[in-house]
Structure 1
Amino acid sequence: MQFRQCVSSTVAAVVFAHCSVAAPLSGPDNGTHTPAPTDSLSTTATGAPAPTSTLSPLLKELSKTQQILLSDTRVDVYNNVLTKDEDFIFDFGAKRTGSGTGAADIVAANRKTFPALTNQGIATAVGFMGPCQFNLPHVHNRATELLIVTQGKLVSEMVIENGVEKDGVIRNIRNELGPYQMTLFFQGSIHSQYNPSCEEVIFVAPQSSEDFGTNQVVKNLFGLDNEILRAAFGNSIDGAEVDKFRGLVSDSVARGVEKCLLDCNIQKRK
């Protein structure tokens, strides 16, 4: 009997000691138990929103594209830069020049004009080409282009690179496209488009870079020094003629073939 009482007393003492460690007695000052501090506060328990980063006042002076490039994460981009739903819409029709001169409009959505494209590796352009208009030969420095005609008829041409020849002649890949037909222009290839009809042509041209770049071949060729040009043309023109040619080169889109001008009753510029 004494042995059992001794064992029971020992077990009771151990249990009491364990409970004392697991749940310490209330402090003498306020009679409450204060839990150990934690590193973070649960938003579920408090109802407070999770903290979000804020945009530095210095960054607000930059363009949205620059702000995106300097943001730490894409979450910061959406929370601090592209904060409006309208930031994800680009209206090609509203950005047409509407100059009334008859010149075509090539409206580009790239990372400068549509910052939401920044770091996405894609852009696009929409072309509105009037009767007989010609998109001069050009190169896209950093992108391959797909071109899809959505209205009208369009003639496309492309010269890919040195050595691509047919029967010893430089190969010019020429196609006539109708609605919902597509062609492609490789990065660095020289290509152009021409509207042979009296109706407006509309095309959509996705690009494989948000900063695809455009190099107008004819216009920029005459940006070289006269001596270089004379060498390139076999000294068949002199300096005065070079200057004359410079003045005849249009900026981006020029009116095209004489027959089309006559058919469409469009007066040729002097």
Structure 2
Amino acid sequence: MSSHHFLLALLVLACSQALASDPSQLQDFCVAEKMSQVFMNGFACKDPKNVMAEDFFFSGLDKTGDTMNKVGSNVTAVNVNQIGGLNTLGISLARVDFAPYGLNPPHIHPRATEILTVLEGSLYVGFVTSNQANQENKLFSKVLSKGDVFVFPQGLIHFQYNYGTCNAVAIAALSSQNPGVITVANAVFGSTPPISDDILAKAFQVDKNVIDRIQAQFQT
């Protein structure tokens, strides 16, 4: 390959990589105008003349979340819905509280990679890979103590479990201002309208009566 063709190939590759990522900021900020009637990928920008310091502020992440629920955990999200100033910035975070033996159930973030830091207690965490060439879904798991950090790649099923007898607290940073969350069990068994029990029975290789009992736990 000539040097001319080699440089051209590098240029095409660089352009393709740039087009595959989020666009760069074209202004200092784009505070979300949540009352806008304009539908777009994200939120329209508030008029900069009306932007205030409060648009970049959230208070209360020091407060313990209520873990008195079926799974024993609580997620306090801080994304663009709580801080309008996060719009277009591509970051957010969350506080996750765990009661003893509390679980943040298997879930995915369709738009973000997550990096989790344990502040108190210890957690058993893990994520499962997508289908590999050998059709395996490999589990990567680790026991984390205070100060430990673990990464969950974007779009992969992951979980956190407090196997101890004390409360645990973690902070999660995410690479999207609106990462989204799909809890696997809720989505599969609690959708509206529900997925046919015939389909789920075949997918999970169990009797339909089992599916009906599980769905009853998630339908509201």
- Structure 1 and Structure 2 fold alike (TM over 0.5): yes
Q: Residues 7-57 of structure 1: CA distance to partner in whole angstroms, max 9, x if unpaired?
A: xxxxxxxxxxxxxxxxxxxxxxxxxxxxxxxxxxxxxxxxxxxxxxxxxxx
Q: What 5-or-longer segments of structure 2 have no aligned partner?
A: 1-32
The answer as to whether partners of 1:106 and 1:126 remain within 8 angstroms in 2 is yes
The answer as to whether partners of 1:160 and 1:188 remain within 8 angstroms in 2 is no
Aligned residues: 180
Q: Which amino acid aligns with 1:204?
A: I
1:197 Cα deviation from its structure 2 partner = 0.8
Structure 1 residues 99 and 245: CA distance shift in structure 2, 3 A = closer
1:88 to 56, 74, 78: 56
Q: Which amino acid aligns with 2:57?
A: I
2:152 to 177, 180, 185: 185
Secondary structure of the residue aligned to 2:119 is: strand
1:93 Cα deviation from its structure 2 partner = 3.3
Residue of structure 1 in register with 2:105 after alignment: 136
Residue of structure 1 in register with 2:211 after alignment: 242
Q: Which amino acid aligns with 2:44?
A: L
Q: Within 5 Å, give how 1:1-270 maps onto structure 2.
A: 62=35, 69-71=43-45, 76-77=47-48, 79-80=49-50, 82-83=51-52, 85-93=53-61, 98=66, 103-163=72-132, 170-222=137-189, 223=191, 224-234=195-205, 236-238=206-208, 240-249=209-218
Q: Residues 228-256 of structure 1: CA distance to partner in whole angstroms, max 9, x if unpaired?
A: 1122123x312x331201133599xxxxx
1:169 Cα deviation from its structure 2 partner = 5.4
The answer as to whether partners of 1:92 and 1:107 remain within 8 angstroms in 2 is no
Return 219-228 or 172-181, whichever deviates more: 219-228
The answer as to whether partners of 1:164 and 1:171 remain within 8 angstroms in 2 is no
1:94 Cα deviation from its structure 2 partner = 6.5
Tell me which protein shows more helix as a share of its residues: 1
Q: RMSD of aligned C-alpha atoms?
A: 3.0
Distance in 2, Cα, partners of 1:61 & 1:141: 22
Secondary structure of the residue aligned to 1:86 is: helix
Distance in 1, Cα, partners of 2:110 & 2:65: 24
The answer as to whether partners of 2:65 and 2:96 remain within 8 angstroms in 1 is no
% identity of equivalent residues: 27
Distance in 2, Cα, partners of 1:250 & 1:210: 29
TM-score (norm 1): 0.59
Q: What 5-or-longer segments of structure 1 have no aligned partner?
A: 1-59, 252-270
Larger radius of gyration: 1
Distance in 2, Cα, partners of 1:229 & 1:99: 30
The answer as to whether partners of 1:92 and 1:126 remain within 8 angstroms in 2 is no
